[in-house]
């Protein structure tokens, strides 16, 4: 692909995007397949590998949509990033309801074994745990942390290494784009995990950014790389407060350029994934109603200035 090829020419592993099965079968599938085929070398499931999608009831696994994305990516020779195994969100009620530490440990191990085992050798990297921190750097109050403390992270990574010894294992979070207690806590946690011998290979920074607020990305990426792990920008988008104007779309060109350069300038940064192809399908519309137009293609699948910002940085 174009952006992907250029990333590889710069010594990186991929330029990727998020996709789900419905993108590949819905009314925009021809645009999506054409763009994904041309520009993207790595695919992340946007939703269909999450716990509520693959194990909605205990022991009842549903892999249809996840398989469709894996099959498309595999037959088109793309890398896959597996997203995500242990996360407090999009987690079915039956897991929230567990109240014994030993039972929860088994449930985590079974889930990871089954999901990673199914795709062993086909998914290059996994977000093993996602969003474990609050903004102030304390652990999020999930069922995992309540019953197991920090040890839930060790349990998840050890199960993951066991399920697919060749997969790169990542911890992933958002708001690691500027200094503060959250990134400090992440760096400290990685240090503890490594000193305990927990198998971890990378740290993902989601990079759900706001227009004009991208200046800290490179220095924080460098700090994350200073842990000794690989780093990846895993869910990049740069949302614009409405109304979207021509001037803001120009600013978006330079913001995407800045973020792309940040990865190029940090040797341990392995790649960038954007969180979708077209603004038409972005999660930003429903999640941040006063923001819009965060991606590289517009609602009609035309390349935006933002696209050329990435291209120009490469």
The nearest distance, CB 47 to ligand XIL, in angstroms, is 5
The nearest distance, CB 106 to ligand XIL, in angstroms, is 25
Of 84 and 105, the one with the shorter C-beta distance to ligand XIL is 84
Under rule CB under 6 A, residue 288 binds ligand XIL = no
Residue 50 preceded by cis peptide, ω within 30: no
The nearest distance, CB 84 to ligand XIL, in angstroms, is 6
Q: Tell which positions 225-244 bind ligand XIL, by CB under 6 A.
A: 235
Of 281 and 313, the one with the shorter C-beta distance to ligand XIL is 281
Of 130 and 278, the one with the shorter C-beta distance to ligand XIL is 130
Phi, psi of 94 (to 5 degrees): -60, -30
Q: What is the largest CA-CA distance in the chain?
A: 56
Under rule CB under 6 A, residue 44 binds ligand XIL = no
Say how many residues touch ligand XIL, by CB under 6 A. 7
Q: Tell which positions 125-144 bind ligand XIL, by CB under 6 A.
A: 130
Of 83 and 248, the one with the shorter C-beta distance to ligand XIL is 83
* Active-site residue flag, 134: no
> Cα(116)–Cα(110) distance, rounded to whole angstroms?
10
Under rule CB under 6 A, residue 205 binds ligand XIL = no
E-strand stretches of the chain? 14-19, 42-45, 79-86, 125-130, 168-173, 202-205, 208-210, 230-241, 269-274, 291-292
Binding residue for ligand XIL, selected from 5, 47, 151, 162, defined by CB under 6 A: 47
Of 86 and 116, the one with the shorter C-beta distance to ligand XIL is 86
- Catalogue the long-range contacts made by 50-57 (C-beta closer than 8 Å, 24 or more residues apart): 50/83, 50/84, 50/87, 50/90, 51/85, 51/86, 51/87, 51/90, 51/91, 51/92, 51/95, 51/111, 52/90, 52/91, 52/92, 53/90, 54/115, 55/92, 55/111, 55/114, 55/115, 56/92, 57/92, 57/94
Binding residue for ligand XIL, selected from 94, 139, 283, 288, defined by CB under 6 A: 283
Binding site for ligand XIL (CB under 6 A): 46-47, 130, 174, 206, 235, 283
Active-site positions read 235
């Amino acid at each position: 692909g174009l952006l992907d090829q250029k990333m590889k020419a710069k010594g990186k592993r991929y330029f990727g995007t998020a996709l789900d099965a419905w993108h590949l079968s819905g009314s925009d599938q021809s645009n999506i397949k054409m763009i994904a085929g041309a520009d993207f070398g790595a695919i992340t499931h946007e939703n269909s590998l999450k716990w509520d999608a693959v194990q909605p009831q205990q022991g009842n696994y549903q892999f249809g949509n996840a398989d469709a994305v894996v099959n498309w990516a595999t037959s088109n020779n793309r890398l896959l990033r597996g997203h995500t195994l242990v996360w407090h969100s999009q987690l079915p009620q039956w897991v929230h309801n567990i109240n014994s530490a030993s039972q929860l440990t088994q449930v985590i191990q079974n889930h990871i074994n089954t999901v990673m085992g199914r795709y062993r050798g086909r998914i290059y990297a996994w977000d093993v745990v996602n969003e474990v921190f609050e903004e102030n750097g304390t652990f999020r109050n999930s069922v995992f942390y309540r019953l197991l403390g920090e040890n839930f992270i060790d349990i998840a990574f050890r199960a993951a290494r066991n399920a697919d010894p060749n997969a790169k294992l990542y911890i992933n979070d958002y708001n690691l784009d500027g200094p503060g207690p959250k990134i400090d806590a992440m760096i400290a946690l990685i240090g503890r995990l490594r000193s305990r011998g927990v198998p971890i290979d990378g740290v993902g920074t989601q990079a759900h950014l706001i227009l004009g607020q991208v200046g800290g990305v490179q220095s924080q990426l460098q700090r994350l790389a200073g842990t000794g792990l690989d780093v990846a920008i895993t869910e990049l988008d740069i949302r614009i407060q409405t109304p979207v104007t021509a001037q803001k779309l120009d600013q978006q060109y330079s913001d995407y350029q800045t973020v792309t350069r940040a990865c190029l300038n940090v040797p341990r940064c392995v790649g960038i994934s954007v969180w979708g192809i077209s603004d038409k399908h972005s999660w930003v519309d429903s999640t941040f109603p006063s923001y819009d137009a965060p991606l590289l293609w517009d609602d009609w699948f035309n390349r935006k200035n933002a696209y050329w910002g990435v291209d120009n940085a490469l």
